[in-house]
Amino acid sequence: MYDRTELKERAAKAATKQGAIGPDIDLGQFETAPVPHAYLSDAKLRKLPKEEQHRLIMAGVDVTEKGRSGTYYQKDTAVVHCKSKQEGIEVLPIRQALEK
């Protein structure tokens, strides 16, 4: 396992390093704060716009949950939906699992 302090130091050094190929990217132009996303119930998940449903199906998430034993959907850093339909199996965010 890696030491978080060491990883942060290595990342800070890499952030100012010139790229060997292609244009450099200004990391300061990106937002660093997490974007909040509300949890979606089964009904709200199925009512997502068709365009978003299409993107989800391309990523392997079928909002109808047909032929699935569980679903885990994370958007940015927020868990948007997680569920298990199979008895004896839990699907939950890692932070919640660590509390158990």
For 4-62, how does the pLDDT look when each residue is reduced to its tens digit (9 = 90+)? 899 999 988 888 888 889 888 888 888 888 889 999 999 999 999 999 999 999 998 88
CA distance 98 to 76: 20
Query: What is the distance between the alpha carbons of residues 17 and 15, in angstroms, rounded to a whole number?
Result: 6
Tell me which residue of 81, 4, 69, 82 sits closest to 37, measured CA to CA: 81
Six-digit token string for 97 = 């699992």
Q: Give the pLDDT score at 16.
A: 81
